Amino acid sequence: MSARPGFDGFRRPDGRVGVRNHVLIVPTVVCSAVVTERIAAAVANCVALPHLAGCGQLGPDMQVTHDTLAAYCRHPNVGAVLVVALGCEQVVAQMLAESARQAGKASAIVSIQGEGGTPKAIAKGQAIAADLARDLERVTRERFGAEELILSLKCGGSDYTSGLSANPALGRVADRLNALGGATVLGEIAEIMGAEHLLAARAVQPEVAGRLLRVIQRVESEAQALGLDIRGTQPSPGNIRGGLTTIEEKSLGATHKAGEDSPLTDVVPYAARIARRGLTVMDTPGLDVESVTGMVGGGAQVVVFTTGLGTPTGNPIAPVIKITGNARTAQTMADNTDLDVSGILSHTETIDSAAERLLAEILAVCSGKLTSAERLGHREFAIHRRNPTI
């Protein structure tokens, strides 16, 4: 691979580096979600963050919602933040705006009750968003080394090709990025089940391995407490049609995307800040959108998503790069695919060569090239819920 890989990104006041320069329009609560979408639709470079939570939540469930929204407000792919409140909800608009300010970003608040209804809140929000977007145009890209990146490692719609081609190729890139001083994050605890011994052996300290094993034990005991068989969802019906038989088989293939020798340096809660270089495991569920939402919240600026069957998932603020090792999917799902590595299984390309192309694609995307998910407007966002709404 080429020497000193780098990309053109955005230096933020808090020292972090972004790969996109969005104005983020954040609803505090589901009640203000439509207003955020109308504001974002009217102003270039604005993205809304519609979600279904923000009220009627208790304890840790409420905290996860607040912390995830605050993490997006601080994220380096975001240059400025407009918070849209209803006025009577649990999530506090001022606290979200303060998160953005602490990261050195311009921020503002519009309240629907305060403005006197939807049309007035939209009008005021659009005017503020236009000002924020104009100010962000002055921020220009600068050259950074790849070590500034936190890369989210994701797979979904897996089939037998995933563990044999796209995941090993992503694993080589992950090892390379970690060796350069960068960071990677792996989520989906249920999809580590059966492969945890391989990751635990790479932990920098026994304490880190212990935390990984405890998180996995918790997920298994949740299934046991409910008296349910995890086979109802893992592997998924599509996985089974594709030839995957058990969660252990799926996990062993999935874990290849975390490389072979990168040290496991940390295990963190959902959407918590990824603070260590090397490989971090994040406690996320296996549902694709909730998992990507959490890993981006943790600070990942870019996501590589391997798929066997093809999938559209994107994210509001981070580019999601789709890579498949299934030749048929590369054709049938071409509109949703960024990189075809099916040559690995047809023996026309080596894993190393595919990894080199993938790293080049990641750096191009981090320098501004749009992904398929971005071109198609895929901005899925779903905050993991730990409890039912009260």
Partner 1 sequence: MSAVIVITPRDNVATALEPLAAGRTIDAGGVAVTVREPIASGHKIALAKIAAGAEVVKYGSPIGTATVDIEAGAHVHVHNVASGRGRGDLPAGGVVS
Instruction: For residue 145, give the 3-state DSSP assignment.
Output: strand
Among the listed residues 57, 126, 161, 280, the single contact to partner 1 using CB under 8 A:
161
Least distance in angstroms from the C-beta of 334 to partner 1: 20
Q: CB nearer to partner 1: give 79 or 343.
A: 343
Q: CB nearer to partner 1: give 137 or 229.
A: 229
Q: CB nearer to partner 1: give 131 or 248.
A: 248
Least distance in angstroms from the C-beta of 159 to partner 1: 6
Comparing CA positions, the residue from 60, 71, 93 lying closest to residue 388 is: 60
Is the Cβ–Cβ distance between 369 and 180 less than 8 Å? no
- Characterize 294-318 residue by residue with b for buried, 16 or more Cβ atoms within 10 angstroms of its Cβ, and e for exposed: bbbbbbbbbbbbbbbbbbbbbbbbb
Stretch that binds partner 1, among 3-11, 84-92, 145-153, 186-194 (CB under 8 A): 186-194
What is the residue whose two structure tokens read 């959108």?
Answer: 289
Site for partner 1 in 195-254 (CB under 8 A): 195, 197-198, 219-220, 223-231, 234, 240, 242-243, 245-249, 252-253
Least distance in angstroms from the C-beta of 218 to partner 1: 12
Among the listed residues 204, 287, 345, 360, the single contact to partner 1 using CB under 8 A:
345
Q: CB nearer to partner 1: give 159 or 374.
A: 159
Least distance in angstroms from the C-beta of 121 to partner 1: 45
For the beta carbon of residue 377, count every other beta carbon within 10 angstroms.
Answer: 8
Among the listed residues 190, 323, 366, 382, the single contact to partner 1 using CB under 8 A:
190
Instruction: For residue 71, give the 3-state DSSP assignment.
Output: helix
Q: CB nearer to partner 1: give 225 or 390.
A: 225
How many residues bind partner 1 (CB under 8 A)? The answer is: 36
Among the listed residues 346, 350, 387, 389, the single contact to partner 1 using CB under 8 A:
346
Least distance in angstroms from the C-beta of 342 to partner 1: 11
Q: CB nearer to partner 1: give 85 or 344.
A: 344
Stretch that binds partner 1, among 1-9, 45-53, 154-162, 314-322 (CB under 8 A): 154-162
Stretch that binds partner 1, among 5-13, 65-73, 121-129, 158-166 (CB under 8 A): 158-166
Contacts for 247-251: CB closer than 8 Å, 24+ residues apart? 247/190, 247/191, 247/193, 247/194, 248/193, 248/194, 248/195, 249/163, 249/194, 250/158, 250/163, 250/191, 250/194, 251/191, 251/192, 251/193, 251/194, 251/195, 251/196
Site for partner 1 in 64-123 (CB under 8 A): none
283: tokens are: 């406690």
Q: CB nearer to partner 1: give 14 or 229.
A: 229
Is the Cβ–Cβ distance between 322 and 305 less than 8 Å? yes
Instruction: For residue 24, give the 3-state DSSP assignment.
Output: strand
Cα 153 to Cα 175: distance, rounded to the nearest angstrom: 12
Q: CB nearer to partner 1: give 187 or 297.
A: 187
Cα 138 to Cα 251: distance, rounded to the nearest angstrom: 45
What is the residue whose two structure tokens read 């299984």?
Answer: 345
Q: Per CB under 8 A, does 180 bind partner 1? A: no
Q: CB nearer to partner 1: give 266 or 349.
A: 349
Round the CA-based radius of gyration of the chain to a whole number and report it.
20
Least distance in angstroms from the C-beta of 203 to partner 1: 18
Site for partner 1 in 260-319 (CB under 8 A): none
Contacts of 86 (CB under 8 A, 6+ apart): 28, 29, 31, 32, 111, 112, 113
Chain residues binding partner 1 by CB under 8 A are 159-161, 163-164, 190, 193-195, 197-198, 219-220, 223-231, 234, 240, 242-243, 245-249, 252-253, 345-347
